[in-house]
Every structure is written in C-alpha cells, then in structure tokens.
Chain A
Amino acid sequence: MHKIKNTLSKNPAAYIFALYCISRFVILIAILFTYIFKEEKNNIFDTFCINDCRSYLEIAENFYVKSDYNIFVIQTSVSTVKNEEIQGEFSPFQVHKNYAFFPALPILIALSTKLLSLGHETTAVILSQSLALCGMFLFHAFSKIILPENKQRHALWLYAFWPFGIYFSLPMSESLFVPLMLAVFLAVRHGHWGLAALLVIPLSATRSSGFFIVIYLLAEALRQFGWRALLRLEPGTEKAILAFATSGLGLGLYMQYQYYLEGDALAFSHMQSAWWRFFTFPWVTIIEGATPFLSDASRLPSQIMETLIWLCFLVALFKSLRSQLRSECLFLLALLIFPSFTGQTLSLVRFSGVAVPLLVILAERLDTADVIKRARLYALFAFCLWSVATFLRINLTF
C-alpha cells in the first residue's frame, strides 16, 4: 500500500491514470444503477448511449445518406407539432436529423472501427474512454499554466468528478471537443501557433460552435504579440494569422460536403429547426423557457434547471474574466451565449459543462490547508457524485 502511495505521489501519469480509473468506476456504477431502475432493459449499451450518441453511431456506420431533403417541410412540420408527433418513421425529422451532427467524431469512430476490427458500439466506448483519459492528461498540463504544484492535484480531482464530465466519456461530441479545446489552449499558451492552426480544424468540425475558437486565438494573439505587430504582419505573427483562418476550415469543409450532397450548405443549421431551434434573443429563450404557459409543462422543470445552471456558468465566466485565463473564459462565454440565441434551453447543460478552465480557477482559489475549506471541497465532490447519478437519471427518463 505504501509502495502504491509512493508511486502515485512521485509519478503524475500514474496518479492521473488512477484518478481516471476511480472516476470512471463511479460513473460506471451510476450507469449500472440507472440500468437497474430503467423500465425497458433492451440493451445495456443504450444506458451508455444517451442523447446524441445514437446519431453519431449511425453516421459512423453509414455516414450521411443522401435523401429527399426538403428543409421547408422540415421547418414547417416542426414549428407547431410536439416531440411525440415527429417520431414517425417517415418524419422529415427522422430522415434528416443527422445533418445537424458534425462529422469529426463519427469519422474518428469509423476509422477506429476499421483499425480495431470491432463493432461500432464497442469501438465508440473504447474511443470515448481513451479520449476522456487523454482529456485528463491535457487538463493536467493546462492546469500547470497558472497553478502551483500543490494545487494541480486539486484541479485534477475537480476535473475527474466534474458532474458534467459524464459527457466527456460517452460517444458524443464533448468527448472529442474537450480534449481538442484543451490541446488548442496548450498549443497557443506555449506559442505553438502552427500546431494550433492544425488543431482548430477538427475542433470546428466537431461542433459548429468550435468556430468561436477564433475569439480565443484573437485574444491570445493580442496578448502575446500586441495589435500593432498583428496589423503590421510582423515576423512571428503569420502562424497566428494562419490559425485565425483555419479556425473555420472544419466547418467550411462540412458545409462544402453538405452542398455537394444536398445542395444546401447550411443544412446543419437548417436542421436545428428539428429541435425547435430558431433565431431569437437570449432573454426570449430564458423567459419562454421558464414560463409555464409559454412552454410545454412536462419540460418545464428541466428547462428551469437548465437555464439556472447555464446562468451560473455565465456569471462564473464573467467573474473569471479578471483571472489569468481571461482568453479562455472569453471563448467559453461566446460558446455559452451562442446557444441562447436559438430559443431553446435544450442541451444548455451539456454545452455549459465544457467550461473546464473554470475548474483551474476554482482550484486556484481553494485553500485546502484550511479544515473548513477542505470540508467544502469534500462536499463539492459529494455533490459531483450525486450529480452524475442525477444527470443520468434525468437524461434517461427525459
């Protein structure tokens, strides 16, 4: 036992791996717990595969299938009907919804499937777990930017038991988005702009909002080079400018592909209407989301919860703009404000959960030598554990 403790304290990689195993074990228990109480016990994989996971697997298996695409029908048929009414086999929602899901993760699943010669589902689980582990290592490297050594492990604990972290180890866009985002942060912070220019391409092909990384790149470039150097294109700034330009390339390539397939380069955006997402102002989203007579009563508790969590994140990010991670917080603010223009609180919790730089700031402010504050930290862990189970329950019963 003493030997294990010694190894873990001396070897950060072993420590991260051990923490990863413990946290995934907790999540596994939460999933099994959910499976036991699930009414329909068809397949245990369905318990892992929540929300958008099934769509990503479908794309990985068949890629995007050209079909009788008609955005007018889609938009008009979903503008007034409810969820249960658009679940028919031939519903335009069912036929075309996959266009809304970006291709980076499905491509990675498909390639890994060929490489491992396993089924899509098994590969997706292995891949997402590997990405989660990779994310933990990247997070640790990222936390070193501002944290002293004694606080880096607290940050790791917070990351490992981050309640929203459940999505980081499921076959969903977050599992790829978070490691890529952290990798971009690291590359830029260490001045490797060429590497950042490459990493932002898959980032914007993982999720449309990945394009907002350009805000981060701009903020960091201004901090590192100054606006005069950028405007004059002084030597050393060209890779940063290249990174600005490539930040939309993943999205652009996907749009090009959709144009080739269906003649609609904006199909990914148009299909958002299948989830009742239309352009509106954030205050409308909040008011309608939390007002009983303006929204579906059965969704109201989730909507209020989603809105509150989202608002908490917004406040935390605004307050963190004074920290050393200002550029990261600026990007995350854009990432969180963007979905509030869609008129839907749907998935806001998932979108908020990627704000992991906040954990570094939180770890920096936690003084663990104080007994009361340490107790608070444990309470926070308990809350995280409880949340993992609760979120799973909500996601499965919703």
Chain B
Amino acid sequence: MIQTLFGSLDEKEKPSFLGRMKEAVTRTRENLSERIEQAVAFSKEIDRNTLDELEATLISADLGTTTTREVLTKLREKADRKQIKDVDELKRLLKEEILGILTAAASAQPVQRVEGPPEVILVVGVNGTGKTTTIGKLSQVLRGQGKTVLLCAADTFRAAAIDQLEVWGERTGTEVVRTKPGGDPAAVLFDALQAATARKTDYVIVDTAGRLHNKANLMAELEKMRRTAQRVIAGAPHETLLVMDATTGQNGLQQARLFTQSAGVTGIVLTKLDGTAKGGVVVAISRELGLPVRYVGVGEKATDLLPFDPKEFVESLFN
C-alpha cells in the first residue's frame, strides 16, 4: 500500500495518481525504457556492451556511479545465475533491484505515530528547491482531509518569503504565524507551537529559509529550531522533510547527509518531477542513507503534490 504521512491512499484517487505520475515521468522525450530497448536491441545476450549501455542509462537518470555500479553488479550476478538472456526479464530484474532499494528505505523509516495534536512537520532544504510551494500544497492535502493546519513562517531571511507563504495560507484557508523579516526563526517557531498546542491544531508545518548544507552556522540554526520544537512539544518535529529538486545531481547525496545530521531528516519530497529530470539521486539517497521519499511535486498548482509510491515510481520510469 502507498505509504504516506496520513495512512494509505484512497482507492478512487489511485487512477489519477497513476496517470499523473506517469505523465510526469514519461514526459521525457527520450525516456529510460526507450534507451534500454536501444541498449538491448544490439544483442540478445547480456554482454559487456549491454551492461555499458544500461550503465549510461542509469547514470543519465542521476543515480550516480556508485549506485549504478552496485545495481548493475547485482543485476549481472542474477542474470548469470538464472541464465537470463531475455530483454524483458532483464528489465524486470533491473526494476526489481531499484524498487528493492526504495522500499527498503520506506520500511526503514516508517511514518511515526503521533500521540496527540499537533503533529509538527519541519520543512528544510537548499535554496530554490520549492519548500514554500510544497508547504502550500501539503496544507491543501491536509485541509482536504478536514485537518486543521497552522503554517509557521520561519524563513525570515529571504526577501518576501513570508508574503509568499501568506498567499498560500490564503489559498488553502490556513492561518500563518509570522514575525518580521530578519526575526529569529526559533522564536517564531516557539510562538507557532504554543498557539497550535493551545488550539489543538492537528498539524503545524514549519517553513525554513533555504540554506546550503555546507554553511555550518545556518545548519546550526536548524539544530536550534529542533531543540526549540522539542522543548515545547516532546517528540517534535515528528517529521522533517528535505525538499529536493529533481534536477539535482550527485550533490543531492551530500545535501541529504548533512541535513540529516543537523535537522534529523525523516523523509524526502522530490519536486519539479514534471520536467525532464528523473530525480534518480533519491535512489542513491535511499541506498546510502535509508531515507524514503514521501511525496513528489509535479506542478505549481495546489493539488500538484502526490504521495510517493516506490513501485509506481519505478514502473513509470520503465513503462
């Protein structure tokens, strides 16, 4: 079943999810399966060339050299053992391999059960990945489920970030707790959490300033925010989402590593998947750090946030 923050997905929504997921991922002119067809067309047998071509395919999807090599080594072992020379079978095995990595991460990092309201979701990431937009969409999802949501504008740094979140607050009928630009993010977080506790709001979603993961002082600020959250609500933040742009290359791994160190990331939101980028770095992240992808962003509308399903993700890449 599709693992989301909010339990499993409604059956009736499934076709539209599938459709849009597929639309998002197969929009590439030259997609993964096409290239694999090309690769195996040269030879029926799984020879060195075939594997080289497969390698190029995985690398062009941003899986990175290490993950690609590992996946292909395992694929070759299996192929040898099972005497597989058939193209379809090879594809099935490759899918299985990647799927295995993604599902292992999802079960390694299950969604936490939360004692009582509010559940606190901290949203972090480097600059320009789509944190604020994702929060707008997430609040739309939650509001659609009849939950009460409070948005916390803790990006006090970037010009007009607070205004941007407020527009999303209006669009989704959600209140925004804010401070003045340049204010202390931990202070506004404190206020938001107290307000949410008093009102028994179901969810608090915290927007943070985009920051490059190699800036130690900015990362320390996130640590401070976490401590603040814990002081107000034990166990908070219950979920820390790292928002990552699907166009991100191998630096995504380092992002995930360092944000996990400072902010305790529990899941990833992969945004801008409606472009031609495939976001394959999340496979590398799942493999190395065991971090699951929770959602994907496929557009700029409030409804363009979808729960991530590893199976569908891999399927849509290949079909």
Chain B associates with chain A:
no
Interface residues of A (CB under 8 A from B): none
Residues of B within 8 A of A (CB): none
